[in-house]
Amino acid sequence: MGKKHVTETSKEELIKEDEKMQSAVKKEAKVKSASKVTEGKVFVSSSYNNTIITLTDSRGQVLAWKSAGSVGFKGAKKATSFAASKVAETIANVCKKLGVEKLDVFIKGIGSGRESAVRTLVTQGLNVVSIKDVTPIPHNGCRPKKVRRV
C-alpha cells in the first residue's frame, strides 16, 4: 500500500480554519432568518417504502425536510398513509414557525401517502394554492427483451 503521508498543521492554522467555518455558518443563518418567507413549495415524494416531504422557498432552496423514518416510523410502517400524514403535520409546524402562508404542492411517486399528505397540509391551516403531479412517465418505455429462441 505504501507509506502514508501525514501533514501537521499548527494550532494557529486550525484556529483560522475554525473561524472561517463559523463565520460561513453564521452568514447562512442570518440569510435564512433575515428573509421572511411567505411563499413556498412543498415536494411530496411517495414511494412504496417511504414518504419524504421537502419544504423549499419560491426559488427552490431547501428550508426543511422530513421523512417517515425521521419522524420515528420503522420498517413497513413507513409506507403507510398514517406515517405520511404525520410527516406532513411536522412540515406544517415548520411552515408555521417560518411564517410560510402560501404553498405550491408537487407530488411525485405512486405510494400510499400521496393524498393523505396533501389533506393533512390543508387541514393544518396552510393555504395550498396549487397541487401538481410531477410523477415521471415513460413515453416509450425501455427496450423489450429479445425473442427467446428454442
Domain assignment present for residue 94? The answer is yes
Domain assignment present for residue 100? The answer is yes
Domain assignment present for residue 57? The answer is yes
Domain assignment present for residue 129? The answer is yes
Q: What is the DSSP letter of 80?
A: S
Count of CA atoms in the C-beta half-sphere (13 A) of 82: 5
Q: What is the pLDDT along the chain (150 residues), one digit of tens a residue?
A: 566 666 666 777 778 777 766 766 655 544 555 457 889 999 999 999 999 999 999 999 999 999 999 999 999 999 999 999 999 999 999 999 999 989 999 999 998 999 999 999 999 999 999 999 999 988 888 888 999 998
Are 46 and 109 contacting, i.e. CB atoms less than 8 angstroms apart? yes
pLDDT at 24: 61
List the CATH number of the domain containing 58.
3.30.420.80
pLDDT at 63: 93
| Residue 120 lies in domain | 38-133
Phi, psi of 129 (to 5 degrees): -80, -45
pTM for this prediction: 0.71
Domain assignment present for residue 87? The answer is yes
Task: Work out how many domains the chain is built from and give that number.
Answer: 1
Question: Cβ atoms within 10 A of the Cβ of 53, count?
Answer: 27
pLDDT at 75: 92
Nearest 5 degrees, angle CA 39-CA 41-CA 47?
Answer: 160
